[in-house]
Amino acid sequence: MYYCISMKITGKNYKFLIYFNIAAIVLLFNERTETQVKNENFALKWGSWLLLQAIPSPGFYEDRNEFEGENNKNGIKFGLSWQLTPVAYSWNSNKYVSKFSFFHIKPSKRFSGSGELFFEPVVIPGGFNNNSLKKFTYKTGVRLVFPVFHGGEYLAVSLGSGYTEQNTATGKYSGITYEAGIYSFFGMLGIKFNYNQNLLSRYNIGLYIKYY
């Protein structure tokens, strides 16, 4: 009798172990699959974002020499810039999400009201004609974005200031840059104007194109 009871218990335990192992394998497989999907989504998210950030924003840059009066020459050159935002703080973002963003910034967080650090490299493909400035220049500084209509998605404005530098073969020009911008289409398209103090190329205006 004891032997029979023991056999029954052992049989139940055996079945339990089989069912338990099957359930564990299924759970582990599902977890691994979900992890792979998350990793794939993560790679897709950042991979596609990096590709979109490589698309430049077109603009026009002042092309003048250092002379005054009759010897002064002034023109306009076409250039390309890239919009990089290493850090941003959104003061009107949802309380359930972080107010800080790094590089990848959602439009709803940016244009609802935010402050950000920016870095903007610029290339003049054809070079300057009226001076010896090199093709590459850059700006870096702080920008504040304010919503105007529909939480900033339909219309927003920005004000910014920072440091800019233009180089020649023998030296460099550096100074403060002042910026103003207006944006629409959920923050993907805008117009920016810059005044660069103490630089040869003082004025530039261009499109602000940002893909999210």
pTM above 0.85, yes or no: no
pLDDT digits (tens, 9 = 90+) for 56-104: 999 999 998 876 666 678 899 999 999 899 999 998 877 778 889 888 8
Residue 198 has pLDDT above 60, yes or no: yes
**Is the domain of 13 the same as that of 114?**
no
pLDDT of residue 22: 53
More confident residue, 37 or 98: 98
Of 54, 72, 89, which residue sits at a domain end? 54
**Is the domain of 48 the same as that of 81?**
no
Q: Check which CATH number belongs to the domain holding 169 and give it.
A: 2.40.160
Domains: count for the chain: 2
**Is the domain of 94 the same as that of 194?**
yes
Of 33, 54, 75, which residue sits at a domain end? 54
What integer best gives the mean pLDDT of the chain? 81
**Is the domain of 160 the same as that of 79?**
yes
More confident residue, 22 or 53: 53
**Is the domain of 26 the same as that of 60?**
no
SS (H, E, C) 103-169: CCCCHHHHCCCEEEEEEEEEECCCCCCCCCCCCEEEEEEEEEEEEEEHHHCCEEEEEEEEEEEEECC
Domain that holds residue 116: 56-209
**Is the domain of 194 the same as that of 145?**
yes
- Of these ranges, 5-9, 38-42, 99-103, 141-145, the one predicted with the greatest mean pLDDT is 141-145
**Is the domain of 60 the same as that of 33?**
no
Of 54, 76, 98, which residue sits at a domain end? 54
**Is the domain of 116 the same as that of 199?**
yes
